[in-house]
């Protein structure tokens, strides 16, 4: 027990030694719906006066994406000195949606819009994190508008912005903090946009990926050691923030997530849309349970997964992913059923009509919180460029706000009492069963779970 307490103290010391930026209570506000997020984001863009940096996995050519791009062009027209940069994944922008037969890509749309406004510059950059999309994507999140950071795991399209009837539920935090905005802006300008592997997507003369493969490999190597420049301006006795970025197994972000979980004294809450956690995080959960801590996990139902394909639509191998994730969850609960029985382990499944679930994050002891775009899965852990904002709230000044957010997240959830509450493979549609058995037989499922 003494050794355990010493290790817990060491994990907490790791967090306390991170450089921190002071944060005012009134400067951090949480929104609770994608529609409110869309309205507030567009409003912030239209009222920007100095800078806008948009970082997202993709900016889609649909009504939601067009709302954002139109707002950016309008903001630039209103304020010609406004500095704007949009950063999205290089590969994702140059293909259609998975399973779609669309010949036009988002990058084609960017070029078309740029040609319509030759006198207005809204540059859109493609960030190539690896030579192929399956091996790593640009998954950095956060929209910097003047001295504010609007942080969400959402990308920019119809469902993330609730432009029509369907939405993808995420988290939405508006943070007024010039230090944070400057730190994230410097990283974008100095570490990303200056690299020779990064090119404009709104230009037709952009190079083919094969032509810059060597530069992309060099860029990935550099990204592994890149970090935000964070001056240590706050103590451990005040509300403070630490922006963190990471790429690869031993990244600063992964180390922070590990130490954050292991520092828990009473309770850890984790949210992920895909139950496919790295083995280290699973071991952390088991360790905490054995030390009589409480762990709450909120995960999306298979039908709330963005890869889910209804039985009425043509099926393909991607559609097996939600079922694999559910099989993982069932096995996990079966293994730890005794902790569910004694109330230490709480597993909630989110499901709401045809909507999808994209919430990520970690809460620890009402003192620490990680807001992030990381899915807490092997892909995020090993392949993608991720970021997060760690919030330290030692005086519980934001407790009511964060309790309210957790309440919203829990609203459409059901608590799992037993692994019997989760479907088995024999309850899956016939075509799903056949495909799962086929890919499992040749072990392709291990590769699929690792890269998607």
**Residue 207 burial class via C-beta count within 10 angstroms: exposed 0-12, middle 13-18, buried 19 and up:** exposed
| Distances in whole angstroms, Cα of residue 274 to Cα of each of 177, 231, 249, 407 | 31, 34, 19, 20
Residue 149 and residue 177 in contact, taking contact as beta carbons nearer than 8 Å: yes
β-pairing, 51-55 vs 199-200, is unpaired
Q: What is the 3-state secondary structure (H, E, C) of 119-173?
A: CCCCCEEEECCCCCHHHCCECCCEEEECCEEEEECCCECCCCCCCCCCCEECCEE
Q: Return the active site residues.
A: 139, 170, 358, 386
Tokens standing for 380?
Answer: 């995020």
Sign (positive or negative) of CA dihedral 359, 362, 364, 367: negative
Q: Which two tokens stand for residue 378?
A: 């092997």
How, if at all, do strands 345-350 and 413-415 pair? antiparallel
- What b/e readout covers 182-200, taking b as 16+ CB neighbours within 10 angstroms? bbbbebbeebbeebebbbb
The pair of structure tokens assigned to 56 is 């997202």
Other C-beta atoms lying within 10 Å of the C-beta of residue 290: 11
**Between β-strands 386-392 and 413-415, what pairing exists: parallel, antiparallel or unpaired?**
unpaired
CB atoms within 10 A of CB 441: 9
Distance CA 209, CA 352 (A): 40
Whether the CB-CB separation of 273 and 413 falls below 8 Å is answered with no
In 24-152 the beta strands, taken as DSSP E runs, fall at 28-31, 51-55, 83-89, 124-127, 142-145, 148-152
**In the beta sheet, which residues pair with residue 372?**
388
d(CA 92, CA 129): 11
Residues 370 and 397: beta-carbon distance below 8 Å: no
Token digits of residue 406: 């957790």
Rounded CA-CA distance 430/437 in Å is: 11
């Amino acid at each position: 027990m003494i050794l355990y307490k010493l290790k817990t103290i060491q994990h907490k010391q790791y967090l306390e030694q991170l450089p921190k930026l002071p944060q005012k209570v009134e400067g951090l506000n949480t929104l609770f719906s994608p529609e409110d997020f869309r309205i507030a984001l567009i409003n912030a863009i239209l009222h920007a006066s100095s800078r806008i940096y948009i970082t997202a996995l993709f900016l889609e050519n649909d009504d939601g994406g067009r709302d954002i791009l139109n707002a950016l062009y309008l903001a630039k027209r209103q304020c010609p000195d406004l500095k704007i940069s949009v950063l999205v994944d290089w590969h994702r922008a140059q293909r259609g949606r998975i399973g779609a037969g669309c010949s036009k890509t988002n990058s084609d749309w960017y070029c078309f819009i740029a040609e319509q406004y030759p006198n207005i510059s809204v540059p859109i950059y493609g960030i190539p994190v690896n030579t192929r999309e399956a091996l790593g994507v640009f998954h950095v999140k956060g929209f910097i508008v003047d001295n504010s950071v609007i942080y969400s795991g959402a990308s920019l399209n119809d469902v993330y912005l609730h432009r029509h009837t369907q939405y993808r539920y995420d988290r939405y935090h508006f943070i007024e903090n010039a230090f944070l905005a400057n730190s994230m802006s410097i990283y974008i300008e100095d570490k990303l946009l200056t690299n020779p592997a990064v090119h404009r997507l709104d230009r037709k003369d952009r190079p083919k990926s094969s032509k810059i493969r060597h530069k992309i490999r060099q860029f990935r190597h550099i990204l592994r050691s890149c970090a935000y420049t964070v001056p240590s301006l706050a103590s451990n006795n005040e509300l403070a923030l630490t922006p963190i970025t990471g790429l690869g197994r031993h990244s600063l972000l992964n180390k922070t997530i590990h130490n954050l979980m292991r520092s828990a004294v009473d309770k850890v809450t984790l949210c992920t849309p895909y139950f496919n956690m790295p083995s280290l995080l699973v071991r952390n959960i088991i360790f905490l349970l054995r030390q009589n801590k409480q762990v709450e996990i909120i995960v999306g139902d298979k039908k709330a997964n963005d890869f889910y394909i209804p039985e009425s639509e043509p099926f393909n191998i991607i559609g097996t992913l939600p079922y694999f994730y559910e099989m993982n969850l069932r096995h996990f609960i079966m293994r730890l059923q005794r902790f569910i029985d004694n109330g230490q382990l709480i597993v909630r499944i989110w499901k709401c009509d045809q909507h999808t679930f994209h919430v990520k994050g970690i809460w620890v002891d009402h003192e620490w919180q990680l807001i992030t775009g990381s899915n807490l899965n092997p892909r995020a852990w090993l392949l993608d460029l991720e970021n997060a904002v760690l919030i330290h709230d030692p005086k519980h000044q934001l407790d009511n706000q964060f309790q309210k957010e957790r309440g919203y997240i829990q609203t459409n959830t059901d608590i799992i009492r037993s692994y019997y509450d989760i479907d088995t493979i024999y309850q899956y549609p016939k075509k799903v069963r056949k495909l799962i058995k086929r890919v499992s037989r040749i072990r392709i499922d291990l590769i699929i779970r690792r890269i998607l």
